[in-house]
A and B are shown apart, each in its own frame.
Chain A
Amino acid sequence: MEGNIILKFENVGKQFDGNRVLKDVSFTLKKGEILGLVGENGAGKSTLMNILFGINVIQETGGYEGNVYFDGKKVVFKSPFEALNSGIGMVHQEFSLIPGFTAAENILLNTEKTKPNIISKIFGKRLETIDEKEMRKSAQKGIETLGVDIDSDTLISEMPVGHKQFVEIAREIDREKVKLLILDEPTAVLTESEAEILLKAIRNLANSGVGIIFISHRLNEIISVCDKLVVLRDGAVVVERSVGGVEIKQIAEWMVGRSVEGEKNFHSKIQDISNDKDIILDVKNLWVDMPGEIVRDVSFKVRRGEIFGIGGLTGQGKLGIPNGIMGLFPSGGEIIFNDKNLPLNNTYNSLKSGLAFVSEDRRGVGLLLDEPIDMNIAFNAMQVHDKFVKKFLGGFIKWCDNRAIRECAKKYIKELDIKCTSAKQKARQLSGGNQQKVCLAKAFALEPTLLFVSEPTRGIDVGAKKLVLDALRGYNEKNNTTIVMISSELEELRAICNRIAIVSEGEIVGILSAKAPIADFGLLMSGIDKLEEEGEDNE
């Protein structure tokens, strides 16, 4: 029995500058077992994994308490390299790929396939020649094990997030002697069908004897793939048990520590906007050159006051649409917004005319990681609409109104329930889900007429997800703000949207009413059935 245990946490605790985030965490994991680790945003999941993996921030902020046993021995990893060498792999919540390298190079980083040469025979393995052909083959194999179609020669910087995620996972799986694999929200950027592929791969891996820790906010994934469940609440383990017989609702209650109402009550509130009389956004023949998410020819109309969803598989172009309209990637076509022609490729103008965008790439585009939360929230509104500034000398000097900025931040911290020590905390120090909320607050602070949100609930826990969706919905109702929401999660689109467009191969293959049967969406996504604007007739 003892020999079968690969990992054991014993009374592990951690605090950041007096802020306690983990206390007395103990649980075990057996070989070949998949452990689902769940908890609210900021519960301490990523921190716990960082401790296990020897991430530097942990040491820099004063280490941790308690013991970690791996493979029978007590371990204290001082760096991720030590962890890697002893057989732990980790897929981080935030990507750790090197943008200028190809997929193959990233996958095989540090495990490069080498050929012996004369020099290496004398001086050792470090000087062996890199075997590029072998590398490419092996990388391609790694990607194929996952069951996705990605060219291993593509540069990471040119990939959509979903593909990056697969590459990152392929990298960890490829390491030969991996005994324990940590997956921190690997499915957050994937659509359900893609996630399924991944879950299968994980299962296979576990069957070969690897222990796996799987973190996800999609509780159905936990139930379908995990053997064991550990629930963290405010840094403490509240439940450790086998998954058999557990229900989603039950897990959610353990997470938040009170009973939660069902998510389904969204539908009832949807406003009835069922004709094309008042069009706020008219997109005609839009193309966008966003690497990995190319939009070829897209036309659609968004009605004033509605919530318009855009779904589709990763890499098909759904993300390219808002990125193109906001001028973040080269684009062309015709956009009529509020009866005025909107020039493309001009971000400032798009923002100024009342658009706002919450990017799916939260660390790349969404946040200033080393600036405080309040600055992150207020920045766009200040730059675009001159909010939060005091003008002197007839507007020549525009002085930041720090008090107003802080007040505004406080308001959103409360409204969106952002877990932080103060409005002055650096964005880098927030948990993934809370960073996402800061991005949303940034867009709300702009008070837009039309809001694009891309993957708004990525990395957000069940409770907060309802909160965020409610916030979007509430914002939509209160200010009559039109919202265009792009998401990989069909369920979430169906929960709050009026109509949903499905994108495939850079084109819209159909627009359905949110009430359409789920099978119809499935058909559209798989590209089997090309419907033309069927949703229009449905209503």
Chain B
Amino acid sequence: MNKINQFIKNFGWPRIIISIFLISLFIIGPFFGIPTDMSLNDVFVRFGMNSILVLSMVPMIQSGCGLNFGIPVGLVAGLIGAVMSLEFKLTGSAGIFTAFLIAIIIAAVFGYFYGKLLNRVKGDEMIIATYVGFSFIFFMNMMWIVLPFKNPSSVQGFKGTGLRVTISVQEYWYHVISDFLKIKITEHFIFPTGMFIFFALMSLIVWAFFRTKTGTAVTAVGSNAEYARAAGIDVDKMRIISVIFSTILAAIGIIVYQQSFGFIQTFNAPLSFVFPSVAAVLLGGASVNKASIGNVIIGTILFQGILTMTPSVINSAISIDVSEVIRIIVSNGMIVYALTRKGR
């Protein structure tokens, strides 16, 4: 009994309720003709696609920079990496690794300046980050048109210049990670082992980072900047490191997303990742200044689970296609819930 109470206390009622809701969706799904294996497949694939984006929240939260509403900065770096690798016409793992490499370098540069900016607005990071995200996307909207991309699959067919809104990676590195060691469990359920291994690898890097000297310094800056300063730590530098780290993770995360999805989405697309990533980490139990990998895993499963299951179950139940409406209601509802709930 005591053990159960302890568990409830640690896990928290909101998460328990959401988990119960998610499980009940799985149970009633088959009655409306939704095969369980298909549902499971969707949830696992979506977890693999989104988890690294959610993970990218952790370093900045830990350093006290708050929730990374400026995640588009990293996403854009990822997009640049991806289209560049297409420019070189590289396919398969060579292609995706080139994409990663370019994205990481660009994300590091972007992250540095983004971090510098956030250091000037201590206390208001989240608001400023939101502005940065938006304005950066609008700036890039112009750049996507102007930059001299050549690959016919990337540029707009009729003009021959300017990027398309969606670029297929089918012929380049589609499912390179997803299909690595994939396990076909049933007809509709193919376990994307590669994405899980990749997520585990990224988590391991984050985990290990916070166990190094620099990592503990970053954590100290986040929990008590005065303490860190009195220990002779360069607070601004640690914050910049965390922002660079977050930005790089976001850049990697979006490429993983693209290889699974099959398309590179340019222009305004990155904006649609902001709130879901923030909401997922909060839902997982993180607060504005403390987050763990456990929070990331739980939050992503719950958020993506509800997001995939609710529309399909309700759709089949009433046989009218309202999935988009439901999706918007559910995702925004959860975001509002997650944002309003008091940080621990």
Q: Which B residues lie within 8 Å of A397 (CB)?
A: 212
Instruction: Tell whether, in the assembled complex, residue B230 and residue A347 are in contact, meaning their CB atoms are under 8 Å apart.
Output: yes
**A20 on the interface (CB 8 Å rule)?**
no
Given the complex, which residues of B lie within 8 Å of A389, measured CB to CB?
212-213
Contacts of B220 in A (CB 8 A): 368, 371, 379
Cα A398 to Cα B227 in complex, Å, equals: 21
A332-371 to B contact mask, C-beta < 8 Å, 1/0 = 0000000000000001111110000101000011111111
B227 is contacted by which of A351, A352, A366, A400 (Cβ under 8 Å)? A366
Please measure, in the bound complex, the distance between the C-alpha atom of A230 and the C-alpha atom of B232, giving whole angstroms.
44
Check B223–A368 contact: CB distance below 8 A.
Answer: yes
Report yes or no: B231 in contact with A399, Cβ–Cβ below 8 A.
Answer: no
When the two chains form their complex, are residues A400 and B213 in contact, meaning their CB atoms are under 8 A apart? yes
Q: Pick out which of these stretches binds chain B: A21-29, A84-92, A380-388.
A: A380-388
**Contact: A383 with B217, CB < 8 Å?**
yes
| Contacting pair A400 B232 (CB below 8 A) | no
B229 lies within 8 A of chain A by Cβ: yes
User: How many chain A residues have a CB neighbour from B under 8 Å?
Assistant: 30
Q: How far is the CB of A401 from chain B (nearest CB, A)?
A: 10
The reply to whether B216 and A400 contact each other, CB–CB distance below 8 Å, is: yes
In the assembled complex, the Cα of A375 lies from the Cα of B230 at a distance in Å of 15
Rounded to whole angstroms, the CA-CA distance of A348 and B211 in the bound complex is 21
- Contact between B216 and A379, CB atoms less than 8 A apart: yes
Decide if B231 touches A380 in the complex (CB within 8 Å): yes
Contact A400 B211 (CB under 8 A): yes
CA–CA, A386 to B216, complex, Å? Answer: 12
Query: Can you list, as one digit per residue, whether each of A378-415 has a CB less than 8 Å from chain B (1) or not (0)?
Result: 01101110100100000001111000000000000000
Give A339 Cβ to nearest chain B Cβ, in Å: 22
Q: Are A383 and B230 neighbours in the complex by a CB distance under 8 Å?
A: no
Asked whether any CB of chain A lies closer than 8 Å to the CB of B339, the reply is: no
Tell me the smallest distance from the CB of B240 to a CB of chain A, in Å: 17
- Least CB separation from B290: chain A residue: A370
Residue of B nearest to A375 (CB): B216
The answer to whether B213 touches A365, judged by C-beta atoms less than 8 angstroms apart, is: no
Kindly list chain B residues whose C-beta atoms are within 8 Å of the C-beta of A328.
229-230
Q: From residue A451, how far is it (CB to closest CB) to chain B in Å?
A: 14
In the complex, the answer to whether B213 meets A382 with C-beta atoms within 8 Å is yes
Asked if B135 CB lies within 8 Å of chain A CBs, one says no
- Interchain CA distance A357-B229 in the complex, whole Å: 12
Q: Are A369 and B216 in contact, with the CB atoms below 8 A?
A: no
Known: A368-B224, A370-B290. A357 touches B212 (CB 8 A): no
Cβ B224 vs Cβ A369 within 8 A: yes
**Min CB–CB distance B289 → chain A (angstroms):** 9
| B214 interface residue (CB < 8 Å to A) | yes
Nearest CB on A from B294, distance (A):
16
Of B217, B226, B230, chain A has the most CB atoms within 10 Å of the CB of B230
**Complex Cα–Cα for A500 and B290 (A):** 44
Q: Is A321 an interface residue (CB 8 A)?
A: no
In the complex, A373 has a CB within 8 A of chain B = no
Contact A383 B224 (CB under 8 A): no
A399 in contact with B232 given A367-B227, A370-B290 (CB within 8 Å): no
CB distance from A255 to the nearest CB of B (A): 32
Tell me, in angstroms, the Cα distance from A359 to B290 when the chains sit together: 25
Q: Min CB distance, B250 to chain A, in Å? A: 23
A326 within 8 A of B: yes
The distance from the CB of A350 to the nearest CB of chain B, in whole angstroms, is: 7
B3 to chain A, nearest CB (A): 13
Closest to A352 in B: B232
Contact B229 A347 (CB under 8 A): yes
When the two chains form their complex, are residues A383 and B233 in contact, meaning their CB atoms are under 8 A apart?
yes
Give chain A nearest CB distance to B25 CB in angstroms: 32
Chain B residues within 8 Å of A384, by CB: 231-232
| Contact between chains at B227 and A365 (CB < 8 Å) | yes
Among A326, A365, A379, A380, contact of B226 (Cβ-Cβ < 8 Å)? A365
- A380: chain B residues at CB < 8 Å are 231-232
Q: For residue A398, which residues in chain B have a CB less than 8 angstroms away from its CB? A: 212-214
Complex CA gap A159/B211 in Å reads: 37
Any A CB within 8 A of the CB of B124: no
Q: Is B171 an interface residue (CB 8 A)?
A: no
Question: Roughly how many angstroms separate A298 CA and B290 CA in the complex, as a whole number?
Answer: 42
Other-chain residue from A349, A351, A386, A400 in contact with B231 (beta carbon distance below 8 A): A351
For residue A349, which residues in chain B have a CB less than 8 angstroms away from its CB?
232
Q: Which residues of B contact A359 (CB under 8 A)?
A: 230
Kindly report which residue of chain B lies nearest to residue A388, judged by CB atoms.
Answer: B213
Instruction: Report the Cα distance A400→B213, complex, angstroms.
Output: 6
Residues of B within 8 A of A357 (CB): 230
Any chain A CB within 8 A of the CB of B234?
A: yes
Distance between Cα atoms of A379 and B220 in the complex (Å) = 9
* Minimum C-beta distance from A436 to chain B (A): 15
* A370-B290, A383-B213, A399-B212 as given contacts; A365 in contact with B230, CB under 8 Å: yes
- On chain B, the residues within 8 Å of A382 by CB distance are 213, 216
The CA of A369 and the CA of B213, in the complex, are separated in Å by 19
Distance A400 CA – B216 CA, assembled complex (angstroms): 8
Closest to B211 in A: A400
10 cross-chain pairs, A with B, having the tightest CB-CB distances, nearest first? A348-B232, A398-B213, A347-B232, A351-B232, A380-B231, A365-B230, A365-B226, A383-B231, A368-B223, A389-B213
Contacts from A to B (Cβ < 8 Å): 326, 328, 347-352, 357, 359, 364-371, 375, 379-380, 382-384, 386, 389, 397-400
- 29 pairs, CB–CB < 8 Å, chain A vs chain B: A328-B229, A347-B230, A347-B231, A347-B232, A348-B232, A351-B232, A365-B226, A365-B230, A366-B227, A366-B230, A368-B227, A369-B223, A369-B224, A370-B223, A370-B290, A371-B219, A379-B220, A380-B231, A383-B217, A383-B231, A389-B212, A389-B213, A397-B212, A398-B212, A398-B213, A398-B214, A399-B213, A400-B211, A400-B216
Apart from the given pairs A364-B224, A368-B224, A384-B232, 9 other A-B contacts in the complex at a CB distance below 8 Å: A328-B230, A365-B230, A366-B227, A368-B223, A368-B227, A375-B216, A379-B220, A380-B232, A383-B232
Q: Point out residues on B near A: beta carbons under 8 Å.
A: 211-214, 216-217, 219-220, 223-224, 226-227, 229-234, 290
